[in-house]
Chain A
Amino acid sequence: MGEPVIELKGIRNRFGASVVHEHVDLTVYRGEILGIIGASGSGKTVLLRTMALLQRPVAGQVRLFGCDALHLPPEDERRLRLRLGFMFQNGALFSGLTVFENVRFPLAEHARLPADLCREIVMLKIRLAGLAAEDAGKYPRQLSGGMVKRAALARTLVLDPVVLFLDEPTAGLDPVTAGAFDALVVELKSLLDLTVVMVTHDLDTLWRATDRVAFLADRRVVALAPVGELARRPPHPAVAAYFAGRRGGEGAWKPR
C-alpha cells in the first residue's frame, strides 16, 4: 500500500440531536479504490463529504496528504481542493450551462490554457466519460440520468484530481452502463494515478472495482477489508445481513 492520502481520526458528525458518526477512524491509501457501504441512513455520504471537506465534523481530525485539512490558510485550502474531485449523486450540473460549458467551467476558472487546448481537454474528458460529441451542446435538462452522471464525471475529472470521490456513481444506471462505468473508473485510476473513494449500493461495483471496503454501521466503521473477505467472513452481523440479503431474498423489505 502507498502512503496515506486521507486520514480520518475520531470523526464525530451530528445533525441536531442525531449523531451520525462517533469516533470514526479511517485511512485511505494512495492508489486504492475504497468503497464505503452500509445501510441507508448509516452516514455514507456524510462520511464522503467529510473527507472532501464539504462537511465540517463536530469533532475529530481530517488529514489530507498529511496535512490538517480543517485548519488551512485559504490559499492552501484552495490548492488542496483542486486536488479533490467530487461527483455528486445527482450530478449537480449547472443547469444554465451546456455540458461543454459545465466541463469547461473549472478549467476556465483555474487554468491558463490556450483556447484550443482547453477545448480539446474538455472534449477529451467528455469522450472519456462516455458521452458523444453531440451531447456536448446539450443542457442538463435534455440529458438522461446516465448521461448526467457521465457529464458530472467529466466535469469532476477535468482538473485531473488526485483523489476522486464518487457518491453512488452507478445508481440508476442499467447494468451494462454501470459495468462500463466501473471499468472506466478502474482504467482512469491506473492511468491517472487516482485514489478513489466511492459510496455505492451496487454489489457488482464493489466486486469489480474496489480494493477495500469500509462498512458503516452503529455510527462507525465496523469492518474494513477487501470485499471478498467481508463476504466470506463477515466480522459483524450487519455485514452478514448486507451480503446475505441480496435483493429478492430476505432482508431489504422485511416488514417491521
Chain B
Amino acid sequence: MVGCERSAFPAPEPAGWRFDGSRLRLTGAWTVLCLEKGRLEQPPPVPPGRPLVIDGSALTALDSAGARAIVALRARLQRQGSAPVRLEGFTPSRRRLLALVEGVPSVAPREPRPQWLESLGLAAFDVVADGLAYLAFVGRLALQGLGWLRHPRRIRWRATLAEMQRAGVNALFIVGLLSFLMGVVIAYQGGDPLSRYGANIYLVDLVGLTMLREIAPLVTAIIMAGRTGSAYTAEIGAMKITEEVDALRSLAIRPVEILALPKLAAMLVVMPLLIVFADFTGLLGGVLVSDLLFGVGLRSYLERLPQTFLMPSSFWVGLVKAPVFAFIITSIGCHQGFRVRGGATGVGYATTRSVVQSIFLVIVVDALFSILFNRLDL
C-alpha cells in the first residue's frame, strides 16, 4: 500500500447524533477514543412523553465502549422522557454487542482508606515493628557472621570480592572528589578569619583536624548510604518481590548468609580504606587552597601534620568510626530490602527508608562518638 507516510491512521469522525423530533440518528464512530465527554454529557432535548427511536444505521463504527454509551444514553432518555425508547438499525452483531454490555456490576470499587487516627496508630506501630525487626535482623546477621568466623571455609570469597569491587573501587572517584571539595571549602572558609589574625599557619590544624576526625568519615558514610545502601535495598527488594528470596530458602540456602553477609564483610573492609582515601584527597584540597591563597604550603603541612597522627590521633579517631558506619549502612540497607512487600512501589519506598534511616543513624552515632571521645579526652 502506498501513502503510508502521512495520516495512515486518520482520526475517524467523532461520535455524535442528529435529532429530528422522534428519531435520534447516531453518527460517526462510537468507539472508545472517539467518544467525547462534552458531547455525551448533554443529551438531546427530547420532548417528554413521546416514544423515541435511537437509530444506529448511520454509525461508522461501534465498539464495546460505544455500545455501553448507547445503553447508558437510552436509559437516561427513558428516565427523562418516561416513554419507551427503541433501538433500530443495528446489525445483528451490534445487537449482540449491545446485549453484552448490559448489566454492569455496580459495586463501586472502594479501597478502604484508614481514618487519620488509624493511620497514625498504624504508622506508630510500624515504627516499633520496624525497629524490632531490625534488631532481629542484626541478631541473625551476627549469628551467621559468627558461623563464618568459626568455619572460615564457608566464607563466600568470590561474592565478597565482587561486593568490594562494587562498593569500594567503583566509589573511589566520587568519594575522592567530594572529599577534595570539602577540603577546599574548609580551607577557604577557615583561611579568611585566620589570616586576619595572622594565624595562617593554623590552617594546617584546622584542615587536618576537621578532615581526619569528622568530614572524611562522614562524607564517606553519607555517600555509601546513598550509593551502596540504597543499591542493597533495591537489589534485595527486587529479589524479594520476584520470589527469588523464597527460591533461595526453598533450596535450603539462608538468604541472609548469601545476600547480606558478603555485603557486610565487603563494607567492613572497604569503608576504612575509603575513609583513608578521603582523608588524603581532602587534605589535598586543603593544601591546594592554603598554598594558593594563604601562603601555607605543602612544606608547613608536612611539618605540622604528623602531630595529628600521633596517639591519640585524629587519624585513628576518624578511622575507628569506619566499621560502625559500615555496619549501620549495610545492615539497614539489607534489612529494608528483606522487608519489601508489594511491588515496584514497595521497592522505592524501602529504598527511601533505607537511605534516610542510615544517614540519620550515621549522624546520630557520629554525634555520640564526639561525646564519647570528648569524655575520653581523645
A residues at B contact (CB < 8 Å): 65-68, 72-73, 76, 79-80, 82-83, 94-96, 98-100, 107, 110-114, 116-117, 119-121, 123-128, 132-134, 136-137, 139-141, 157-160, 190-193
- Give every chain A residue within 8 A of B11 (Cβ-Cβ): 79
A96-B342 CB under 8 A given contacts A66-B4, A110-B33, A136-B109: yes
Q: A192 near B63 (CB under 8 angstroms)?
A: yes
Contacting B107 at CB < 8 Å: which of A83, A113, A116, A133? Answer: A133
Closest 4 CB pairs of A and B: A95-B343, A136-B109, A133-B105, A160-B63
Closest B residue, CB atoms, query A159? B32
B1 within 8 A of partner (CB): yes
B149 within 8 A of partner (CB): no
Interface Cβ pair total, 8 Å cutoff: 121
- Chain A proximity mask over B59-70: 1 for CB below 8 Å, otherwise 0: 000011100110
Contacting B342 at CB < 8 Å: which of A82, A139, A190, A193? Answer: A139
Q: B110 near A137 (CB under 8 angstroms)?
A: yes
A191-B100 CB under 8 A given contacts A96-B342, A117-B68, A137-B109: yes
A123-B33 CB under 8 A given contacts A95-B342, A98-B109: no
Contacting B109 at CB < 8 Å: which of A66, A96, A100, A191? Answer: A100
Main SS class of interface, B: loop
For chain B, residues 331 to 347, give those with C-beta under 8 angstroms from any C-beta of chain A: 341-346
For chain B, residues 301 to 336, give those with C-beta under 8 angstroms from any C-beta of chain A: none
Q: B111 near A79 (CB under 8 angstroms)?
A: no
Q: What 7 additional pairs, Cβ within 8 angstroms, besides A134-B107, A160-B32?
A: A67-B4, A95-B346, A112-B36, A123-B106, A123-B109, A133-B109, A141-B342
Q: A127 near B35 (CB under 8 angstroms)?
A: no
In whole angstroms, how far apart are the Cα atoms of A26 and B342 in the complex?
Answer: 40
Distance of B229 from chain A, by nearest CB (Å): 23
Contacting B344 at CB < 8 Å: which of A95, A119, A158? Answer: A95
Distance of A32 from chain B, by nearest CB (Å): 16
B41 within 8 A of partner (CB): yes
B150 within 8 A of partner (CB): no
Q: B69 near A117 (CB under 8 angstroms)?
A: yes
For chain B, residues 15 to 50, give those with C-beta under 8 angstroms from any C-beta of chain A: 31-33, 35-37, 40-41
Closest B residue, CB atoms, query A79? B9
Closest B residue, CB atoms, query A96? B345
- Give every chain B residue within 8 A of A190 (Cβ-Cβ): 93
In whole angstroms, how far apart are the Cα atoms of A114 and B40 in the complex?
Answer: 7
B356 within 8 A of partner (CB): no
Q: A80 near B105 (CB under 8 angstroms)?
A: no
In whole angstroms, how far apart are the Cα atoms of A206 and B64 in the complex?
Answer: 26
- Give every chain B residue within 8 A of A100 (Cβ-Cβ): 109
Contacting A112 at CB < 8 Å: which of B35, B108, B344? Answer: B35
